[in-house]
Chain A
Amino acid sequence: MKRIFTRISVLAVFCLLAINVAFAQNITVKGRVSDGGDKTTIPSVSVLVKGTQNGTQTDASGMYSISAPANAILVFTYLGYTTQEVPVNNRTTLNVELASSSQQLDQVVVVGYGTQRKVDVTGSVATVKGEEISKQASVNPISALQGKVAGVSITNTGAPGSSPQITIRGTGTIYGNTGVLYVVDGVWYDDVSFLNPSDIENLSILKDASSQSIYGIRAANGVVLITTKKGKTGEPVITYNGSIGFKAVTNQVEMANATEYATIINELSASNGANPLFANPSSFGTGTNWYNQAFRNALQTNHQVSVNGGTEKTTYNFSLGYTNEDGIVKTQNYKRYTAKLSNDFQVLKPLKIGYTVSGTAINTNDINDGIFRQLYTAGPVVPVYYADGSYGDANDFSLGGGNNFNPQVTLDYFNQKTKNYRFNGNVYAELTVAKNFTFRTSAGGDFGQKEIIGYTPLYAATQGQRTTQSTLKIEREETRNWILENTLTYKNTFGDHNLTVLAGTTAQRRKLYNISSTAFDVPYSSDGDLYLSLGTAATRTVVDRGSLSTSASYFGRINYSYKDRYLLNATIRRDGASQFFGGGDLWGNFPAVGAGWVISSEEFMKEQKVVNYLKLKGSWGKVGNAGVPVNPTTLTVSQGGDLVAFFNGVGYTGANINSLVPSFLNWERTTGTDIGIEAKFLDNRLTIETGIYNKKTEQAIFEIPILSSIGTASGSLIGNQADFQNRGFEFLATYADKSKSGFSYSISGNIGINNNKVLSVVTGLNPIYAGGAGIANGALSTRTIQGGAIGEFFGYKVAGIFQTAAEITGSAQPSAKPGDFKYVDQNGDKIIDGKDRVVLGNPNPKFSYGLNTSFGYKNFDLSLDIQGVAGVDVYNANIAYRFGNENFSKDFYDNRWHGAGTSTTYPSAAVGSTINAAPNSFYVEDGSYIRVRNVQLGYALPSLLTSKWKMQRVRVFVDAQNAINIFGYKGFTPEIGGSPTNAGIDASVYPLSATYRFGLQVTF
């Protein structure tokens, strides 16, 4: 009875308030909303005048401005924070801190198929705010994660808009899809380069198996959940973000100049017993610097506009984005146009429906894949142009096949444009079917069309670069993927017991179709001529291919907590994947459990003041990886042009079986155990999260080289053939504070240590060799063997350089020449052969770390991020990948052996010979680096000024990405990547570049 009265009185108060509001004088209230923990500002917080539909949002820097009655109550709402109500009380400035750590219990993180209070999480989930991503110069949202999260390693490549390689807690998969799973608003993707970083509200990275297992089928390499911005109740908020800047190559490798080149090539000829190629090396002067010829300061511009708002019944978010990024190589360009609309409707009290759709168009001007190799190898004696304006021709200098080209011709006559259109999103309906029961159904789709048009005209630029006919190539690729999901959630509280139960099903279909066609003799006067039908009929060809896979899944999860102190989570997912149909266990089960203990909530902790919060958590889970090629156990017929027979000049289809498939292929499973601690000290100013993990990949799907004498085309066979282990430690510490004078700062450091090890391989102690990409003479530079790391570098250990013929006589390398590497005869049998090879390095980084800081004082803000890796090796394959008269780096030239006593570490110019190019320790270098990843200085214009302009807020900034890079590696960048057994091999990687920008942010 008492309770009813209370309710009535509250209602009465509301009525009175409403009446009051109606008559009160409106004033403009402004302020900043920030995180009570780390003091960072929070954008997109909904600010509503209580009891009305009058609302707004905070802008990118957490500022808001709203017209409200002087006695109104403002309601601040934001996902992941406690809703806060603040009376205006005639104040015009209201700064609000949300979700201070005393409200830790209410912080929410996005997890698979829902959200969870942070306190209830027993696994390892890292969250990154969208703002952290969008403020960076990175065009690809995932690139921006570099250095932000312990245990998440990002390897960027410099190509505009390209997707980085992301590895979560070490390499656990080496075949098929080794990338993480991205779930954007419930739709699954392998790549999110289509996403506009400004559209991202929040990222959750599921690092441990117990959090991942709800995505069982595809979770073994980790899961990144991306929530895009949704509409918020309130007046429309229009935001503009723009920047302009440029990218420039950093750490450019210096090559030998023309005189040096001619000198060393003459030495090479002498070592091959030939006459000098150049009579007078110094006559060439410095010659052409091909890198300088091809590189440029590349322009980057970026414009984003968004509108956000809504009523209690309907909310909307609409955004447009435009990015234009030049490549650092002339002619390369990347343009991305994005549009996104999301609407949510509270149709009826128990029913909510909504949708998010986004369209992306990415148009690129491509460069020849081989251009970086050409720039490295091209002879500096060749001029770009002769005096008469014609192209310099390497053939005129008899440079030979290895570099019979002029890179400028390659740039000028490579004409390929790619257009990539994506349309994706999802629709959902959420229905409260009964008390505490919510049913949600959603359908998502990803439809893409990619078109690549390449046209090579009829031209004759140099002897080696000419065509006898024009060629038009048109390639189209269509993606049609859909996903259907149904979930039923039961949520209830019984006294001290909190219980959430989730059950769901999903079905997915992924289809790809690619068709590629060519025609010769297509004339060109405009792009309107680029049609195959204008080519010679008899030369038109069409090749197509496709892939199709499906999966069906059931999953369930129980989250239980008692007194918010004792936590228990359990998950099960059962997946069926078409990849395993007929040749393995079609269905895989992926269970997980986690438990937590919030020690700081215990009675015995109440008295102490040191620890504000302390949680101990542990979890175990199993996840799978169905990311193997479709139909892996289905033997198929090969029918390529190479098998076509010609009889009397006429081609006849050839078909045969030249492959092997395993008769049985099972799910690759990863079992992970995770133990962690979360703690807060010093009045919540210091946050520490740390943990250890042990991740074991069982029955890893692995392509093992098989004997060539079996005669298959690929020379390898896939199967469940190895077990791997990644063990590691992660540590994150954040200290944030704000002084009375208004100086706020946050310093956050993270480090991940990972140890990668092969536990077993079906080949037993017999290693798997790989890493032949870009290595001379088909030699293999990596080895994967039981007890070692995946893909460790393997080869000869260099003991020195043979100085004289006398030294060679009687050595273990009787066929060596002076200036060749002297290898260590490991087994002492006086012969250097395969048995003398040893482990030379490990391409799997042992340490990766980041330091992220932000400082704010009055209208100024500064952020500085430092990031690096250590304990990693890279293989410089560029040095010895030679066929003839390729150029050398200046470093090699300066240090080379060129006569007895000239060098004991660098070989002679004959470094490309079989004996010298064999994988050896000379090519393996330390790949550690540390860099200033981001530095940004911002200034918000005084509100006095902005309000005059009818703007809520105006901020300008300057920033730099990759401005300072420190590493010992002699190539462009030690950040190399590559498939797991070919990782860390630098074979003409895209050079590293730094980006400098000026930007403007306006909120209306």
Chain B
Amino acid sequence: MKIYKNNYIQKIGLIALCSGLFVLPACKKSFLDVDPQAQQPAVTFWKTQDDATKAVNSIYGILRSNDNTGFSAIAIESVGGDDAEKGSDPNDASYYNNYDDFSVSSTEGQLQGFWNGQYKNINLCNQVLDNIPAISMDANLKARYLAEAKFVRAYSYFRLVRAYGDVPLRLNVPKDASEFNLPRTPKAQVWAAIEKDLNEAAAVLPQTYPSVDLGRATKGAALALHAKVAMYQQKWADVLSYTNTVMTMGYDLFPNYEQSFRLNNENNIESIFEIQCEINASIPGSATSQYSQIQGVRGTVAGYGLNVPTAALNAAYEAGDVRRDATIIYRGETTPQGDAIPVSVPNPMYSQKPYVPFNLINTSFNQGAQQNVRVIRFADVLLMNAEAANEQGNTTLAKTSLNRVRARARGGVAGVLPDVTTSDKDALRQAIWKERFVELAMEYDRYFDVIRQGRAATVFGPKGWKANKNEVWPIPSNEIDKSAGTLTQNPGY
């Protein structure tokens, strides 16, 4: 009986063994084919209009990133100028001094950050531009989406070309490794590509959006950016034509200069393009902007106090110019929103444009992460119009546009900031340049504006700027290392 039982068990064992050996291979295919978890496979993307919408959303979302608006942008686009300097405590983020005195070397980290940031934007745009055309969806919406991507791509290349000169021009997602390592494209071709994108964007983008889409790139934004792009190339006829068009599109100066930069006046009538930032506690990871935090008044709850106005900027304002107090937060002052700035803060001045009132600071997020970044304002368009008109010999138009900007700066007080009346082309040019300085101060515009004007050696020379070198920053050395020599360094670095 026992023997029988053992045999019985052994037989069961044999069956189990055989099934174990044979069942496994039979099910191997499905068993080893597991789906990615919590991640949508890309092969299921780019199928629907909804996919297209999300992808286009992403190109706006990424513009808030630190590389686009924070530490790197300040290094590359701001502290080199004479309106801004490092600020904060002397020993804090002292690398900014290398951008201020032009001693920066190619290994400095912010060079890489800015470079990365722009190419990340460009990749997302290229994904949109390569993949949305094949999606079956509303044709008008598709065209608009493509135009929006072209705008953001053009904006990113504009920032790259003025920072680094010749840069790799990537207009498609690389198909394979053979397309990874692109050499630098001469900047003329990069400018051409930017203009092509902006032409195509302006042809399609709507002048306005319904309120649910407020913040998307408009036709006005494409034209205004195009005007700026043309201005950097001294294509004055184009600048004039694009700005003239924008001036017919319903934009106007916001009456109160100081108020135009506050949270409740975001996307106002003067705004042509803003990077949209919010604190939304229910969307984790979305409050990415450090724009306001980095520049917030040091020694208060607001932030780090970097990128502060210079004495030169403070002195540049004419008597009675309301823009001075709206651009500069002084040590010891009380802001219009009622925040008392202690006299003990380390710097005499801080930038007011990114300022978020202290009662709106939320410690669970980057301070002031809700503050939009004003990229192009109508005032800039007016001043570009003035400059182009002057260069084209139309001093009347030039003065009209210029004085429109000055008029607001009086803050309703008569007798200050008199209209510019000169018809001398050179004098008028100087007046327009001066106006750009004070109107657009601390808006990441001044540094490259002066280089573009061809007088950087005069204006920045005293702090170390050298012609034939400092027109562009060095290419980040890590990137040159990775390219195995395909990328070359800018002269002098």
Contact = CB atoms under 8 A, between A and B. Distances in A.
Interface of A: 265, 268-269, 272-274, 277, 348-351, 395, 398-402, 431-434, 439, 441, 463, 466-469, 471, 486, 488, 505, 507, 513, 518, 520, 536, 538-541, 543-552, 554, 576-578, 581-582, 586, 630-631, 634-658, 663, 705-713, 715, 763-764, 766-767, 769, 777-780, 815, 833-834, 882-885, 910, 912-915, 918
A-B interface, 10 closest residue pairs, ranked by CB to CB distance from nearest = A641-B285, A711-B123, A274-B90, A778-B109, A654-B58, A884-B92, A400-B89, A645-B57, A546-B37, A654-B57
A884 B17 CA distance: 68
Contacts of A547: 37
Contacts of A707: 168, 180-182, 479, 482-483
Given A398-B346, A469-B363, A548-B37, A708 B91 contact: no
Interface string B29-49: 001111111111111010000
B91 A400 contact: yes
Nearest to B280: A651
Contacts of B186: none
Interface in B92-143: 92-95, 97-98, 103-109, 112-113, 115-116, 119-124, 126-128
B363 A467 contact: yes
Contacts of A466: 301, 363
B44 to A, nearest CB: 8
B294 to A, nearest CB: 10
A766 B480 CA distance: 11
25 contacts: A268-B91, A277-B89, A398-B346, A401-B92, A578-B33, A630-B37, A631-B36, A640-B285, A641-B286, A642-B286, A643-B62, A644-B280, A648-B212, A648-B215, A656-B54, A656-B128, A708-B476, A709-B479, A711-B123, A769-B478, A834-B106, A882-B91, A913-B94, A913-B95, A914-B95
Given A469-B364, A505-B20, A884 B484 contact: no
Given A434-B10, A711-B123, A833 B477 contact: yes
Contacts of A651: 278, 280, 283, 286
Contacts of A657: 42, 45, 127, 173
B211 interface: yes
Nearest to B60: A645
A646 B59 CA distance: 11
Given A635-B42, A637-B45, A272 B57 contact: no
B51 interface: yes
B281 interface: yes
A655 B58 contact: yes
A786 to B, nearest CB: 13
A549 B34 contact: yes
Contacts of B304: 401
B37 A641 contact: no
Contacts of B483: 707
Contacts of B128: 656
A940 B126 CA distance: 76
B429 interface: no
Contact of B32 (A518, A552, A769): A552
Nearest to A538: B282
A541 B282 contact: yes
A914 B278 CA distance: 34
Interface string B469-493: 0000000111111111000000000
A719 to B, nearest CB: 9
Contacts of B126: 711
Contact of B214 (A348, A648, A834): A648
Nearest to A912: B94
Given A348-B9, A834-B481, 16 more contacts: A268-B91, A272-B97, A274-B90, A351-B6, A439-B17, A466-B363, A468-B364, A541-B281, A636-B36, A647-B213, A648-B212, A653-B57, A707-B180, A707-B482, A834-B477, A914-B108
A885 B88 CA distance: 12
Given A466-B363, A486-B20, A550-B34, A645 B283 contact: no
B241 interface: no
Contacts of B344: 398
B469 to A, nearest CB: 13
B42 A505 contact: no
Contacts of B60: 645-647, 654
A552 B31 contact: yes
A402 B92 CA distance: 7
Interface centre among B61, B64, B113, B299, by most A CB within 10 Å? B61
Nearest to A350: B6
B153 to A, nearest CB: 11
B156 to A, nearest CB: 10
Nearest to B126: A711
B382 interface: no
Nearest to B131: A657
A637 B39 contact: yes
A543 B284 contact: yes
Contact of A642 (B21, B65, B181, B477): B65
Given A441-B20, A539-B282, A834-B477, A544 B38 contact: yes
B276 interface: yes
Given A274-B90, A469-B363, A708-B115, A520 B281 contact: yes
B105 A914 contact: yes
Interface in B378-415: none
Interface in B275-318: 276-278, 280-288, 298-301, 304
B477 to A, nearest CB: 5
- Which of A348, A402, A548, A644 has the most chain B CB atoms closer than 10 A to its own CB? A644
B301 A656 contact: no
B323 interface: no
Contacts of A540: 282
B164 to A, nearest CB: 11
A777 B108 contact: yes
A643 B95 contact: no
B42 A468 contact: no
A647 B212 contact: yes
B186 to A, nearest CB: 16
Given A641-B288, A650-B212, A769-B481, A538 B37 contact: no
A648 B484 contact: no
Contacts of B482: 705-708, 766, 769
A708 B112 contact: yes
B10 A432 contact: yes
B427 interface: no
Nearest to B275: A646
A639 B38 CA distance: 10
A224 B251 CA distance: 72
A507 B281 contact: no
Given A636-B42, A777-B109, A914-B105, A767 B120 contact: no
Contact of A630 (B36, B98, B176, B479): B36
B286 A644 contact: yes
A549 B216 CA distance: 41
A273 B39 CA distance: 51
A857 to B, nearest CB: 53
Interface string B305-345: 00000000000000000000000000000000000000010
Contacts of B6: 348-351
Contact of A467 (B13, B33, B37, B364): B364
Nearest to A647: B215
Contacts of A402: 91-92
Nearest to B345: A398
Q: Which of B39, B43, B93, B106 has the most CB of A within 10 A?
A: B39
A641 B65 CA distance: 11
Contacts of B40: 636-637, 639, 655
A918 B103 CA distance: 15
B307 to A, nearest CB: 13
Nearest to B167: A709
Contact of B124 (A505, A539, A577, A658): A658
A189 to B, nearest CB: 20
Contact of A643 (B45, B61, B91, B170): B61
